Structure 1
Amino acid sequence: MKKRIESVDILRGFTIAAMILVNTPGSWSYVYPPLLHAKWHGLTPTDLIFPFFLFIVGISIYFAYKNKPNAQATYKKIIVRSLKLIGLGLFLGLFLPSAPFVKEFETLRFLGVLQRIGIVFLFSAILYLNCNWKTLFGIGTIILIVYWLCLGYVPLPDGTLPTFDRSPNNWAMYIDSNLLGKHMWQADYDPEGLLSTLPAIATCIIGVLVGKLLDGLRDIKPLLVVAVLLLLSGYIWNVWFPISKALWSSSFVLVTAGWGTLILACIYYLTDVKQLKFGSIYKYVGMNAITIYFLSSFVSKTFYLTKVGDTNVHAWLYNTLFVHDFLSDKLSSLMYALTVVLAYMFLGYFLYKKKIFIKV
């Protein structure tokens, strides 16, 4: 691609900024509801963030590999990049800021955000290299339908009927509990679990198809039509398969991809069609998205685990600089998160101006 699509970089950077915002409140006891995930079923603005990123990964796959040969060297680069992402995720899980500097393997969480990005990227990129858009559309559709039927209608090994609720009778939770054991986010489920990675691949495939639609696009009407179709189908499917990020339900895939397409269409119209200077700061972050996300996660974990007297660095900074009588607890917590976001946005700006682009 000779010219980058501004709107894609802006949406990617905005998504990373939003990830950092919801991941680093001053106190988890004081967070405004829109900045929290839905407890199980339902959809909050926070629930849109991760699927938006996978959706953008799909768009990037289209433009990155549309002229690449279906050859061994291309597959090697895809596999290496995927392993790097998985490795970074495992490093974050293992790392401790003090001796012995490595967490006990018995309690290591195998899966996570970066691991899911790596796995989804691997399968989506390989599918793209080997399938035309019609086949990709069919594969994505089959994944969503089979996932729904499996979770909703296939009896578990003990003969009990499955459920979409948070219970041992949920197929996604059943598989994770039996295969991952203690290596999960929580004792009974993992939001980036094994089975729910399948519909996450469908999210990425939708991104690939939207990327094809974007290629040479001069009018946002096709994007708006796709967005409306995705939203309608997702909200209708919600009647039978509830929207749930925890399960990455099929309705969740369609609704989040619909919102992603709609927001992308709006940004595309302003930046790529009307050529308005809009959201450049997010573009700077988007050019080093994985680097900034990884660094924010690394620093946040270090702050939480590094002691300062009877507390830790995170709590000390929050209580010293942001907790005041004239601010509510939730506003203080939000101010801390916004300060962290601004710091990483400045880092993105600095890296961009220095022409430093770290590819993972």
Structure 2
Amino acid sequence: AFTISFPFFKDFAEIRFPGVLQRIGVVFFFAAVLFLNFNWKVILGITITILVGYWVWLGFIPLNGEVPTFERAPNNWANFVDLQVFGTHMYKEDYDPEGLLSTFPSIASSLLGIFTGLILISQRAKKELLLLLLGILMLLLGYIWDLAFPINKALWSSSFVLVTAGWANIFLALIYYLTDVKGIQFGSIFKYTGANAITVYFLSSFVTKLFYSIQVEEGLSLHGWIYKNIYVHSFLSGEVSSLLYGLSVMGFYLLLALFMYRRKIFIKV
């Protein structure tokens, strides 16, 4: 994870300690330890404890003598803890979407994924129906909880955990029904990218930062030069230019993933 930033920072104080890959590593570690050492009932209890405990901590424990808030503010517990632990090494001066406290509900997201996996590898019939019902249940709980603990990706709020897990289960149930039950084969593109997901993610971040770090002229990076000269035209709106840029970048990495898949190059962690 840190190799993405290492070649590009000018000062140690610029290094961001938290990050997406760092969080994935931490979450995967704790989820694996729990899965290997406890049964599903204990894991369910841990998941519920994390989600409820996170809500209580952020919403009801006073901070600096003030009522805590779920907004980005000095009296937000997640921001406060990150400032104490990471100091200047964050995404923003007072905020990091992959902060320390919000990693706990991220672990809960992974634990919910374990339950989905257990359903898929079980011998029970109508797995797609169970996945669908589980997804609907989590959606209902998540949207109800949103009234007290708003859906917030930056905080990875407990309601956000349930809503995202709910939608994921619903779409997975649909895909499972079409592919495994009905035998309809489609979506090879997802197989190519999924086989090297971490590699594609790492390269997309690394190359972007590399292009931003190369100065073509004063105040204009290689990234900006490419965008300005290839995608910006008088007959295109800014939104269309941005869309074309995004599609071309995505297309490049899809082709890279296809190349690696056909050459049987799989980089895993």
TM-score calculated relative to the size of structure 2: 0.96
Q: Is 2:92 aligned against 1:221?
A: no
Q: Which residue of 2 aligns with 1:129?
A: 36
More relative contact order in 1 or in 2 (CA 8 Å, sep 6+)? 1
Structure 1 residue aligned with 2:90, among 167, 184, 193?
184
Q: Secondary structure at the match of 1:119?
A: helix
Q: Does 1:330 align with 2:242?
A: no
Gaps of 5+ in 2: none
- Is 2:26 the partner of 1:119? yes
Q: Which residue of 2 aligns with 1:234?
A: 142
Matched, 1:165 2:74: no
Q: Name 2:250's counterpart in structure 1.
A: 341
1:305 aligns with 2:213: yes
The DSSP-based 3-state class of the residue aligned with 1:124 is: helix
Query: What CA deviation, in whole Å up to 9, does each residue of 1:175-224 have, x standing for no partner?
Result: 01111110110011100000000000000000011000111465310010
Residues 1:218 and 1:297: Cα distance change in structure 2 (over 3 Å): farther
Alpha-carbon distance in 2 for matches of 1:124, 1:103: 35
Q: Report if aligned partners of 1:94, 1:103 keep a CA contact under 8 Å in 2.
A: no
Partner of 1:90: 2
- In the TM superposition, residue 240 of structure 1 has moved relative to its aligned partner by 0.4
* Residue deviations 1:63-88 (CA, integer Å, cap 9, x gap): xxxxxxxxxxxxxxxxxxxxxxxxxx
Structure-2 separation of matches of 1:218 and 1:284:
29
Once residues 328 and 218 of structure 1 are traced to their aligned partners in structure 2, the CA distance between those partners, rounded to angstroms, is 51
State the aligned residue count: 266
Q: TM-score, normalised by structure 1?
A: 0.72
C-alpha distance in 2, partners of 1:323/1:231?
Answer: 41
State the secondary structure of the residue aligned to 1:308.
strand
Indicate the residue corresponding to 1:9 in structure 2.
none
Whole-Å Cα distance in 1 between the matches of residues 26 and 106 of structure 2?
A: 10
Question: What's the Cα RMSD here?
Answer: 1.2
Structure 1 unmatched ranges of 5 or more: 1-88, 97-101
Which runs of structure 1 show a deviation greater than 3 angstroms over 4 or more consecutive aligned residues? none
Q: Which residue of structure 1 lines up, in the alignment, with residue 264 of structure 2? A: 355
Rate the CA distance shift 1:344–1:218 in 2: closer, same or farther, 3 A. Answer: farther
Share of identical aligned residues, percent?
A: 54
Q: 1:218 to 1:324 in 2, by over 3 A?
A: farther
Structure 1 contact 218–273 (Cα < 8 Å) conserved: no
Cα deviation, 1:29-75, whole Å, max 9, x if unaligned, reads xxxxxxxxxxxxxxxxxxxxxxxxxxxxxxxxxxxxxxxxxxxxxxx
